[in-house]
Amino acid sequence: MKNFFKDFKAFITKGNILDLAVAVVIGAAFNAIISSLVKNIIMPLISLVTGGVSVNDWKWVITAADEVAGVAESAVYYGLFIQAIIDFLIIALSIFIVLRLVMKAKGGLALANKSKISKEEKREMKDLGLDFKNTADVAKFREIQKDKVLKEENEKKAKEELERINNPSEKDLLKEIRDLLKK
């Protein structure tokens, strides 16, 4: 059971999971801001240009309401659909601009790191099918290297633990004897 919680803790604290959680929260807040911009600023301006009728009220009436017969109006509210499309386009444009700025900033850092790639690393990248001139490939290669180092460290720790179990020290043996005598 301890291993389960240990593995779960390692999983949940992994950088990618935390980044994803932050992105979801920020995305939800960003969506609220953009929706408010469209609903409260852009759409009233469009309504002003189109003669004062709110875009939300734009509709195609299929069946008119008849209060005497008790028939409700049936209509296609295409104005709401247009508003949703404008919401989407503004959100997509905003995300595109932010991502482009981030990628340019990362690209600048990666370009500075490109000169630090050794000939051996370039050979390794080629063997992996990665291009050392491509910033995304350089970042991917650095991740692979980091994972390889972590794996080697974990293997070393496991080997040391196995060695300790198979060849206990004098102190460990004395402790086991004491525990057996207590029983």
Confidence of residue 60 (pLDDT cuts 50, 70, 90): very high
Tell me, yes or no, if the pTM score tops 0.75.
Answer: no
Contact yes or no for 96/116 (Cβ under 8 A): no
Residues 63, 73: contact at Cβ < 8 Å? yes
Q: What is the mean pLDDT of the chain?
A: 82
Q: How many other CB atoms sit within 10 Å of the CB of residue 132?
A: 16
DSSP string, 77-124: -HHHHHHHHHHHHHHHHHHHHHHHHHHHHHHHHHHHHHTT--HHHHHH
